[in-house]
Amino acid sequence: MPEWFDGVAQEWSLIGAAPISFAIALIIVVWAILHWFHRRMLSSKDIRIEVLQSRLADYRNVLEGASPREAAYKITQLKGKLEAIKGMPRDENTIYQKGKRIAEVVGVRIDPPNNSVVFDRMRIAGHLDQATHVEFKNLVLAFVGLDGFSQTRQGRTIVNAQFSIVGNRSD
């Protein structure tokens, strides 16, 4: 027989003499082991809950308090608006800036070898930001200069507006 079995057999008489004390000691040891495992499990659950609450707060900040259904609806609306903008045909003699129609032109002279475009007259209906590129047909243009302008109720008209070609539209 194994040695450990002989040791248990010798001590069994001691356990048999005090069974209640042994049972209480055994219950306490089992309870301590189970309590330790349970506390570890609860602490890992608490950490997991904190992480999930943090992620939920981040989502709420990004979605501005909208529910998932409301966010999905808003995304669908924005996609529809984007498709409408992309699919919108542009007028032939119109200048666009930041996706908005800002001017109509008359007398277009495009000089590809010199990468330049001159508009004889450019009637501005919106605001022309001279530091920001504009779009004309399939071209992206940068403002270079002008010969003169006049102000009317309908807006401002620029004479001989000069632009350099910086690229082609990519949409």
Amino acid in position 36? W
| Structure tokens, 117 | 């475009």
Residue tagged 């570890």 (tokens):
40
| Alpha carbons 41 and 36: distance in angstroms, whole number | 9
Residue tagged 């008489």 (tokens):
13
Helix/strand/coil (H/E/C) assignment for every residue in 35-85: HHHHHHHHHHHHHHHHHHHHHHHHHHHHHCCCCHHHHHHHHHHHHHHHHHH
Q: Which of 10-14, 33-37, 90-94 has the highest mean pLDDT?
A: 33-37
Grade residue 67 by pLDDT with cuts at 50, 70 and 90: confident
Query: Under 8 Å CB-to-CB from 85, ≥6 apart: which residues?
Result: 99
Query: Under 8 Å CB-to-CB from 152, ≥6 apart: which residues?
Result: none
Query: Which is more confident, 153 or 69?
Result: 69
| Alpha carbons 48 and 159: distance in angstroms, whole number | 67
CB distance 154 to 123 below 8 Å: yes
In this prediction, residues 85-106 reach a mean pLDDT of 81
pTM over 0.85: no
Query: Which is more confident, 6 or 142?
Result: 142
Specify the pLDDT at position 78.
85
Query: Which is more confident, 140 or 151?
Result: 140
Is the pLDDT at 32 greater than 90? The verdict is yes
Q: What is the mean pLDDT of the chain?
A: 85
